[in-house]
Structure 1
């Protein structure tokens, strides 16, 4: 079966590619689907998410939870944005639930961080949630079934899709008129789904995963290719929005918009520096900036992420743990996302 390039990348020669300086993202191992597997019916209050707010793959999932009105029916635990250090008894580079841990950016705990509450065992490490099922995986997000005490999925794109498909059964509080159809079904929407699928694949390769290929590359030529591909895709998206449409596929917010947003939300304040994507800011693309502000203004979107967690996560793991304070011009972020008119300056 050919790989779905809107979700994951080809693992062929992964070890050799990593040795040549390329960042190669692994493949998620838990791929069940709520509403399709009889073991996981769509029920309000049954499911839980383990996330880190700095992680863009988690951001997709918290976005879907919020825009679909599932905040009251899908519970949430938030890990600290930096993973464990070399001095941790369990070892380094592990996601941990540590609400009392101090952030170097503020010198204080981050109020959004929580203890782990879904398993009944108050796990400190995400690794241990997997280990209970015999898995060596350790990534977030995790969609967890509190009734069977099992992991449903840890593939963010598939979690987004199933939350959208099962939103009503999962307990969405939104009315039918305000519940977005992120991936509309039925013959009438076949062309729209094809457009969403094509956008998802292109955005994943060039933007979502492409930003990591640039930022975590180990060779100049690998970085150069990822950099060029990223900005070529931004130019294509800019042209797509040139006709005045509100969202990527027209006047309706869809899965394509949801999957692009977490990366562009991080671009100006973080990826411009950390991922070496300093070719331009999103603010330098008026159509994309207005789109970014339009999505940010949707109900639930602003609350789905945290730039403080992002800064702490991306910069707080550097050699000296110093977190940049900016940008401050034309104004601090994320407040800037409330001002689409800044693109006209």
Structure 2
């Protein structure tokens, strides 16, 4: 693993790896920081472009809520499916389309918005990048409304800068925030972040989108080995991964496990077990979901629409319904 293994995937031999059937995630190219001279930490200055089905965006919307930044950092939400083949601008582009009808609900999704961050009412994230001279298209995007520039499009970077400057940005973080000052605890969080990113966050995509059987099976087994490791870690009665404080490690794990039972079990071929088969992890998911702002930071309707709506036939599974419909299942915390 590289020193950046908790943030991005190694890009060595990327062409050959993709040709062999491996899913290889690209690297985000815009990596400025709030706190740089041109991007001072100021309340009301910054904006997020996200899609609620995207787990990397979910990290950022969680941080925005946990740190109390909902009122001081504005946000636009893209439709969970990208553009179709018949779109005049081409297929597979993130778009801001508040009137687009979701096949799952047969109506527009109320969380979806138009584009308000640039002041130009752009429809596509691609066009936001073009204003910057970039050919990228991804979300999340952290945007400076005053400078009219993209600050950063790497979710791991955005988490840290929002946490570091939360109070100056107008937030109300609880102490010690997502990253404590204690060096030993930070090292513990960094080690968890690395394993969680490689085997869980990115590992789910290795399993779901790689087309080689051996690569899929290696990702599958690594994913469930880490679930067992985390379930055992939580077996001593601690509330969160490193103790009784919610930290960045918890935040980075949650978006994937939130999606596992209702989406990834089927869509990513991760059908080894449900999260409710791991009693300590199940309680942990329910515990995190109950934190202020967490339920409002994501949407399983967007997740189901986004993942299954792009599958070969576009049909979205109606379940699961056991232990009950999701996300209601996450509201039924019973300690083991």
Q: Same fold (TM over 0.5)?
A: yes
Match of 1:149 in 2: 148
**Pair 1:238-2:231 in alignment:** yes
Q: Deviations over 1:304-327 (max 9, x none)?
A: 000000000000112222111111
Aligned-partner SS, 2:187: helix
Partner of 1:299: 292
Which residues of structure 1 form unaligned runs of 5+? none
Q: Which 4+ runs in 1 deviate beyond 6 A?
A: none
Aligned to 2:17: 17
Aligned pairs for 1:9-158 within 5 A = 9-35=9-35, 37-158=36-157
CA RMSD in angstroms, aligned pairs only: 1.0
Matches of 2:288 and 2:34, distance apart in 1:
27
* Residues 3 and 10 in structure 1, CA contact (< 8 A), matched pair in contact too: no
Q: Deviations over 1:147-166 (max 9, x none)?
A: 00000000000100110010
Say whether residues 1:222 and 2:221 are aligned partners.
no
CA apart distance, 1:179: 5.0
Q: Distance in 2 between matches of 1:179 and 1:146?
A: 29
Q: Which residue of 1 aligns with 2:168?
A: 169
User: Are residue 280 (structure 1) and residue 273 (structure 2) matched?
Assistant: yes
* 2-structure distance, mates of 1:112, 1:158: 25
Contact 1:180 1:253 in 2 (8 A): no
Count, aligned residues: 335
With structure 2 as the length reference, what TM-score do the two structures score? 0.98
Partner-residue secondary structure (3-state), 2:65: helix
Q: Aligned partners of 2:72, 2:177: CA distance in 1, in Å? A: 18
Q: Give structure 2 stretches of 5+ with no counterpart.
A: none
Q: Which residue of 2 aligns with 1:194?
A: 187
Question: For residues 180 and 276 of structure 1, what CA distance do their matches in structure 2 show?
Answer: 38
Matched, 1:309 2:302: yes
Quote how far apart the aligned CAs of 1:86 are.
Answer: 0.8
TM-score using structure 1 length: 0.96
Aligned to 2:179: 183
Offset of residue 32 of structure 1:
0.8
Q: Is the 8 A contact 1:67 1:180 kept in 2?
A: no
- Which secondary structure does the structure 1 equivalent of 2:151 belong to? strand
- Per-residue displacement from partner, 1:316-344 (whole Å, max 9, x unpaired)? 11222211111111110000101122x86
SS in 2 for 1:76: strand
